[in-house]
Chains A and B, each alone.
Chain A
Amino acid sequence: MTERLAVDVAIIGGGTAACAAAVALREVGLTVAVLEKRLCGAGASGVNFGGVRQQGRHLDELPLARRARALWDDLNQRLGEDVEFEATGHIKLARSEADMAELERYAERARQHGLELTLLGANAVRDELPWIGPQVVGASLSPSDGQANPRVVGPAYARLARKRGAEIREFAPVHRAISTGAGFETEADGVTVTSRWLVNAAGAGAGVVASWFGERAPVASLMPNMLVTEPLPYFVPRSIGVCGGDVYVRQIRRGNVIFGGGHGWGDAELGLARPHSEESLGGMTRTVDIVPALATAHVIRMWSGLDGEMPDHIPVIGFSSTTRQLVHAFGFSGHGFQLGPVVGLIIAELIADGTTASPIAPFAIGRFAGWTGGTDASHGGIEH
C-alpha cells in the first residue's frame, strides 16, 4: 500500500545538502519529507574524497565556500557526530612554471574574496613536505582548508533531520513529480507526497527531474575514481591537490592514505558507479610521482561514486525558471562535499524567506535555457 504524506516541502534526493536543508526547514517550523532512492548520504555525499576545500574553487563559488567553511568548525556539535573534520590546510602543487603562474593569479583573485593563500617556492614546499616528488616547483597553501570523513556527514544530517521531525524515506526512488497548481505531487516507491514546495536535489538524476518542469539542465554523470592504502605511519599533514586536478591525496589520522585518479565507470540510471582499473593504475603512477614514499605501500580498496556534473563545472542552485516554489540544488561537479552544509541553509532560506544572503545568481538554472549541446562529461582532472 502506498503511503501518503502531506508536507510543506518535499525534497528529492537525500544527500548532505538535502538533509541539511531538511534540518534547517524543520528549525523554522516547516514540515519536510526527504525521498532518497537508496540510503541518505550514500551517493556522491558519502563516497567522495573528503576534501573540505576553498582553494581552487571557481571564484563564483568562493562566497559559498567561505560561508560553508565557518559551519565546519561547529559541525561535530551541531550533528552530535565526530565528522573527523581537521583544518589540515590544503596545498595545491605546481609542476611547472606555468602552473605556478596560475596559482599566483588565483591567489590574487582569491584574496579579494577574503581567502588568504600562501605561495610557496620550491624550497618552501619541501619545508612543508620534505618527501615531495622532484617535479614539484612550487605550491599554494590554504591553511584554513581541511578534510573530513564523508561517510558520516550525510547520514548524521539525515539522523538529525529525522530527530527534528522530518520524514525521511530511504529506498524510495522518485518516478514522477508534477505541479498541481497549489503545489506538487511527487510519487516515489511506496510513498506519494503532496507539498507546497519541491526541492530538486537529485544529483546525477536532477536533469531528469528538471525536465519534468520543462527546464533544461545538462547534467552529466561524474564518477571520480578513488583508492585507499593500508595504514601507514602518519606523514601527509596536508590535503594535497595539483594544478590540473589529476592527483589528490590525503592521509587520515588512522594512517590510511586516500588518493584519487581519473574516472570510474557505471550507469547513472542504475545508480551504479564502479572504480576503473586502468584509471586506478594511472592514478597510482601519478600519485607515486608526487608522493614517492607510497611506492611500496599497498592499495587495499578502490571505489567510485556518482555525482552530477554541469558543463561549466559549477552547480545549479536557486529557484526554477519555469515553476513557482520549485528550488534546484544539484550538479556540484565533484566538489560539493564542502558546500553541503551551506547549500542546505540556502535552500531553507529561499523557501522560508524567499531570498538568501549568499550570492547565487551565477548558479541560476536559466543559464542553460538555450543550451543545445549535450551533457558535457569531463575526462581530465577532478578537483575535489
Chain B
Amino acid sequence: MADRTVVVIGAGPAGLRAAEALVRGGVRPILIDEAERPGGQIYRQPPPGATRPPSALYGLEAKKAIAVHAILARLGEAIDYRPRTLAWNVSAQRLDTLGPKGPDALDFDRLVIASGAMDRVLPFSGWTLPGVFTLGAAQIAVKAQGVSIGRRVAFVGAGPLLPLVVHQYAKAGAEIVAALDVTPFSAKLKNAPAMLAQAATLAKGLWYTLRNALAGVTIRSDVRAIGVEGEGRVRGLWWRDAAGAEHRVACDAVGASFGLKCETQLADLAGCAFTFDAVTRQWVPRRDAAGRSSVEGVYLAGDGAGIGGADVAELQGERVALTVLEDLGKRIDAARVAELDRKLARQARFRGALERAYPYPAHLLDDVADSEIVCRCEGITAGTLRAAASARDAHEMNRLKAFTRIGMGRCQGRVCGLAAAEVLSRTLGKEVAAVGRLRGNPPVKPIPVGGFP
C-alpha cells in the first residue's frame, strides 16, 4: 500500500525532528515552511550573504543548531521540502498553501502542526513608536543580520530571553543602557529548586547573567511600570521600581517582550479544542502526551501548543512522529517512546518551575491608560475596549472584536489578543479565562488578492 500523505508544518526543531523520524519510519512527509531556510526562529539561518559561523550566531546552542540544520541536508529527497510556503488555511483534510509557484491545496491524512511561538507582548506607553521591537526581533536583528536595533539600546523582559539577548548584544559590541526584568525576584528564588532539576539549562542562565555582569550590564528585577518616550522615534525609556522610584534613560531603541505566545492559528482552523493554561495565561490547543490533538489526524508538536523551548520541541517532534507512525499502523520502537516520554516528563517539571519563576506580568495591564493603543494594526485603544465592555455589553472577546475591530487587523489578533482579553477581564471584573479567546479566521497570514507577487 502506498504511503498516505503526511504533512508537517514548520521547519523548526520540532518539525525537522518529526520529519526525520517519519522518514526513519518509512514515510515521505511533505515539510512546509514559510522561511527560506530551515531552523525555525530559534535556529534561524541568515539569508545568503549574511551567514556567519554557527558559534557566532548561536553561541552555546551552536552544536544543537548545526545538528538541526543538518537534518534537512541528510534527508535530501527522502522528504518533500517546500520552503517559502505559507500554510494559510486548514479545513477538514485539506491544507491550503501559498508558495513561490502560487496557491496549492493538499489533501492530507495526517497533519503535524509545529507552528512555534512568537514574543508575547503587552501595551505600554509608547510601544508603537518606531524603534520599539520585541526581544525576539532584537535577537534576530543581531543574529540574522548583524545589526543592532539602535545605537543605545534598552531591553525589557519577563523571561529567560532577556539575559540571553542582553548577552548577545553585549558580545556584539552594542551599547546597552538598561536591562529591566518586570518579574519579581522572589518568584525566581522560590522556584530555583525545581529549576535545578534541569541543571544544564539553569547553568546556562547563570552563565549569561554572569557574562552580562562582566560586560557591565546589570539586569534590574522587579520593575513595576515602563514607558517609552519620543516624538516619531524612541528617545528614552522610563521605569518605576518596586520602591516606587522613577528612573529614566536616554536610548534610541527598546527591545521588549514578556515571555512567549504559542502560534495557534492553524490548530484553531483545524478545529482543535483549546484549554486555558492558567500559569502562562494563554489558550493552547489541547494535546495528549503522545501529541494527538482533539481532531483525528491532527498532531501538535513544539511551542505551538505550549511553550517548552527548543530542546523540548526536538523531543516532541520525534515523539509525535512516532504517534503518527503508530496511527498509520506501522511498528514503532516502544523503548524509544518510553525514553522520549521520560525525557519530556523531566523537561515538563523544569518548565513548570521556569514559568512560575517568570510569571506573565499581568500587573502591567492593571493601569494601561485609556489613550494607549492595544491593537497596533488598527490603532484600537484600551479606552475603546473598556467603553465597548461597559456601554455595549461586549462580555466576551468575539463580541469585543465585532464592536471595536480588536483583532481584525493584519495580524488577526496574534499580537493584541491576549492583552485585550486581560483588559476586558479587568473591566468586567471577570477571570481572564471567562472572556474567551478570539476565534481564528483564514488566512493565517495575509495573502495577495491577485496571487503570489
A interface residues, Cβ below 8 angstroms from B? 39, 42, 46, 81, 151-152, 155, 159, 229-230, 254, 265, 274-278, 280-281, 284, 287-288, 294-303
Q: Are A155 and B399 in contact (CB-based, < 8 A)? A: yes
On chain B, the residues within 8 Å of A254 by CB distance are: 378
A310 to B94, CA, bound (A): 30
Can you add 14 more A-B contacts, CB < 8 Å, to A155-B399, A277-B105? A39-B398, A42-B398, A229-B449, A254-B378, A277-B89, A277-B94, A288-B449, A294-B449, A295-B450, A296-B449, A299-B447, A299-B449, A301-B408, A301-B441
A274 to B94, CA, bound (A): 14
**Whole-angstrom distance between the Cβ of B105 and the nearest chain A Cβ:** 7
Q: Are A155 and B447 in contact (CB-based, < 8 A)? A: no
- Against A, the Cβ 8 Å flags (1 = close, 0 = not) of B370-414 are 000000001000000000000011000011001100001110100
Listed A/B pairs (18) with beta-carbon separation below 8 Å: A42-B402, A152-B402, A159-B392, A230-B410, A274-B91, A276-B91, A277-B442, A281-B103, A284-B449, A284-B451, A288-B450, A294-B450, A296-B450, A298-B446, A299-B448, A300-B410, A300-B443, A300-B446
On chain A, the residues within 8 Å of B96 by CB distance are: 277
B interface residues, Cβ below 8 angstroms from A? 88-89, 91, 94, 96, 103, 105, 378, 392-393, 398-399, 402-403, 408-410, 412, 441-443, 446-451, 453
Q: Are A159 and B393 in contact (CB-based, < 8 A)? A: yes
On chain A, the residues within 8 Å of B393 by CB distance are: 155, 159
A249 to B293, CA, bound (A): 38
**Whole-angstrom distance between the Cβ of B266 and the nearest chain A Cβ:** 13
**Whole-angstrom distance between the Cβ of A233 and the nearest chain B Cβ:** 15
**Option from B103, B412, B451, B453 in Cβ contact (under 8 Å) with A301:** B412
On chain A, the residues within 8 Å of B105 by CB distance are: 277-278
**Whole-angstrom distance between the Cβ of A297 and the nearest chain B Cβ:** 5
On chain A, the residues within 8 Å of B448 by CB distance are: 295-299
**Whole-angstrom distance between the Cβ of B395 and the nearest chain A Cβ:** 9
On chain A, the residues within 8 Å of B392 by CB distance are: 81, 155, 159
Q: Are B410 and A303 in contact (CB-based, < 8 A)? A: no
Q: Write the chain B residue with the least CB distance to A277.
A: B96
On chain A, the residues within 8 Å of B453 by CB distance are: 296
On chain A, the residues within 8 Å of B103 by CB distance are: 281
The 5 closest A-B pairs by CB, nearest first: A295-B450, A298-B446, A151-B402, A277-B96, A294-B449
**Whole-angstrom distance between the Cβ of B7 and the nearest chain A Cβ:** 15
Q: Are A297 and B449 in contact (CB-based, < 8 A)? A: yes
A302 to B453, CA, bound (A): 20
On chain B, the residues within 8 Å of A275 by CB distance are: 89, 441-442
A298 to B449, CA, bound (A): 5
On chain A, the residues within 8 Å of B441 by CB distance are: 275, 301-303
On chain B, the residues within 8 Å of A229 by CB distance are: 449
Q: Are A299 and B443 in contact (CB-based, < 8 A)? A: yes
On chain B, the residues within 8 Å of A300 by CB distance are: 408-410, 412, 443, 446
Q: Are A295 and B442 in contact (CB-based, < 8 A)? A: no
**Whole-angstrom distance between the Cβ of B408 and the nearest chain A Cβ:** 7
**Whole-angstrom distance between the Cβ of A103 and the nearest chain B Cβ:** 26
**Option from B89, B402, B450 in Cβ contact (under 8 Å) with A284:** B450
On chain B, the residues within 8 Å of A42 by CB distance are: 398-399, 402
Q: Are A277 and B408 in contact (CB-based, < 8 A)? A: no
Q: Are B449 and A287 in contact (CB-based, < 8 A)? A: yes
Q: Are A302 and B442 in contact (CB-based, < 8 A)? A: yes
On chain A, the residues within 8 Å of B88 by CB distance are: 277
Q: Are B402 and A302 in contact (CB-based, < 8 A)? A: no
**Whole-angstrom distance between the Cβ of B90 and the nearest chain A Cβ:** 9
A300 to B411, CA, bound (A): 8
On chain B, the residues within 8 Å of A278 by CB distance are: 105
Q: Write the chain A residue with the least CB distance to B98.
A: A281
A370 to B177, CA, bound (A): 81
A73 to B104, CA, bound (A): 45
Q: Are A302 and B443 in contact (CB-based, < 8 A)? A: yes
**Whole-angstrom distance between the Cβ of A154 and the nearest chain B Cβ:** 10
On chain B, the residues within 8 Å of A296 by CB distance are: 448-450, 453
On chain B, the residues within 8 Å of A301 by CB distance are: 408, 412, 441-443
A296 to B410, CA, bound (A): 15
Q: Write the chain A residue with the least CB distance to B97.
A: A277
**Whole-angstrom distance between the Cβ of B443 and the nearest chain A Cβ:** 6
A299 to B402, CA, bound (A): 18
On chain A, the residues within 8 Å of B450 by CB distance are: 284, 288, 294-296
Q: Are A295 and B91 in contact (CB-based, < 8 A)? A: no
A284 to B451, CA, bound (A): 8
On chain B, the residues within 8 Å of A81 by CB distance are: 392
A333 to B94, CA, bound (A): 28
A295 to B451, CA, bound (A): 7
Q: Write the chain B residue with the least CB distance to A275.
A: B442
From known contacts A155-B393, A230-B410, infer whether A299 and B91 are also in contact, taking CB-CB under 8 Å. no
**Whole-angstrom distance between the Cβ of B235 and the nearest chain A Cβ:** 28
Q: Are A230 and B446 in contact (CB-based, < 8 A)? A: yes
Q: Are A155 and B403 in contact (CB-based, < 8 A)? A: yes
A276 to B448, CA, bound (A): 16
Q: Write the chain A residue with the least CB distance to B442.
A: A302
On chain A, the residues within 8 Å of B94 by CB distance are: 277
**Whole-angstrom distance between the Cβ of B32 and the nearest chain A Cβ:** 15
On chain B, the residues within 8 Å of A281 by CB distance are: 103
A375 to B247, CA, bound (A): 69
A307 to B94, CA, bound (A): 25
A269 to B25, CA, bound (A): 41
**Whole-angstrom distance between the Cβ of A69 and the nearest chain B Cβ:** 24
Q: Write the chain A residue with the least CB distance to B401.
A: A151
A304 to B408, CA, bound (A): 15
On chain B, the residues within 8 Å of A297 by CB distance are: 448-449
